[in-house]
Structures are given as structure tokens and as C-alpha cells.
Amino acid sequence: MSKTQIKQQVFYSKRMEKLNNGNASPETEKITCVGVELVIVGHLSAPKIWTVIELTSKPQTGRQKGQMSLPTETKKVGENELSNILGALAEFCSDDQLPNLKKHLFLLPDSYYKGVLSSNNNPGDLAILVYDGDTDIQFTPLNRDEVEPNGWIPVGELGGKNNIRDVAQQFIQLNENEDLIKKAINTFRNFQDKRIPVFPPDFSLERFYRQREKLRNVV
């Protein structure tokens, strides 16, 4: 087993434990995070971000039908950050794309920002994921009831788009102020030991998603 595989298994075994062993009751859990927004960065030489179009509205999280957005997922009660990220990835891909993504989609611990977003006065997390694979591949979201793909958009053009979801606008402002995308790409290029493959070996997003959907949202 390679060092990367060992690191991946340790990474997930620790962080998936809470979901696998049960969850706190909705009556007792305090909301410390309402969910996570994913900034999936491709075209690293001229960075682009994966976008979606919302197909449904959810007032509790400020989501409105027809808005351009980034993959975003409400947290389940008792859920950890990694499980929340995997749930959000159902708005990006399906099992058909996993053979490619298991090799090319990475999480950088330094690019996970807790509580930097706000949704109806509840804090939300932001995760920047780096994709260094073929961007001509057609990515189809597993969760086709809530989003449809809108494709890759250059980072610099995102702020000029109309009808953007509020939490996506918050990311745009954060990136303008703090160069989050540039920092993530620099980390990815210069520190290979910080690249953590997002998907565990033998992982099925569809199977995980079906199990996860049985749990209760925090809002």
C-alpha cells in the first residue's frame, strides 16, 4: 500500500467515524455550521470554477430556483466536514466519473475555511477542491433534482454574472480580498504531501448519497 493510500485511509477513517456510528438528535445539536460550499477549481493555468444552476428553492438556506451557484450542501445532524463535502459533490458528479476523479480531485486542508459564509445568519463553511484532470469530460450531477450543470467559468468572470446565489457571491468577495484560489493552486503545486484525494478507494457516491439522505438536515 502506498503512502498516499495509507494517508487517505487514515484521513477518512477518523473523519467518517461520527457518521458511521450515529448522529446527535436534532433537539440537542447546536448549529455550528449550516453546510458547505464547494469551489472546484480546474484549468489550473487559467483557473476556472465549476458552476451549477439551482432547480429548486429553499428559503432556509437562501437558495432560489434559477440562480447560478456553486455545489452547496446543507449539513446533516451530527455530520462531519468530510461527509458534508461528499454530499455536496452529488451536485458535481456521479459514479460514472469517479474513476477519473479518484485520481484527479483533491482536498487541501489549508483550503478549508470554517464559518466564513453566512446563510440566513447561520455560519457556513467553504472548501476549495483542486481538479487537475481533463476538463472536457462531461460531469453529470448525481443530484439532478436540485441542480443542472452550468460548466466551467473563469474566476475573473464569475463576479460579472447576474442572478448568483448569495453564498456564491460571498465567495467571490472573499476571493477578491484574499486570493483564495491563487493560494490553493500554489499549495497544490508546491506541496504534494498536502494533496488529499477526495474519494476513498472503492467508494460509491450513489450508495453514500442514498444512505446520507436518510439523515435529517440541521435546517
Q: For the chain, which domains are there?
A: 3-212 (3.90.79.10)
Q: What is the mean pLDDT of the chain?
A: 87
Q: Could you tell me the pTM of the whole model? A: 0.86
DSSP annotation of 194 reads G
User: At 71, is the pLDDT very low, low, confident or very high (cuts 50, 70, 90)?
Assistant: very high
Q: φ, ψ for residue 54 (rounded to 5)?
A: -75, 135
User: At 62, is the pLDDT very low, low, confident or very high (cuts 50, 70, 90)?
Assistant: confident
What are 138's three cell numbers? 462531461
The H-assigned helical ranges of the chain are 3-20, 81-88, 98-104, 155-158, 166-178, 180-190, 205-212
Q: φ, ψ for residue 117 (rounded to 5)?
A: -105, 160
* Percentage above 90 pLDDT, the chain: 74
User: At 31, is the pLDDT very low, low, confident or very high (cuts 50, 70, 90)?
Assistant: low
Q: What is the pLDDT of residue 59?
A: 83
pLDDT tens-digit series, residues 116-166: 999 888 999 999 999 999 999 989 999 999 999 999 999 989 888 889 999
What whole-number distance in Å separates Cα of residue 21 and Cα of residue 126? 25
Q: What is the pLDDT of residue 159?
A: 85
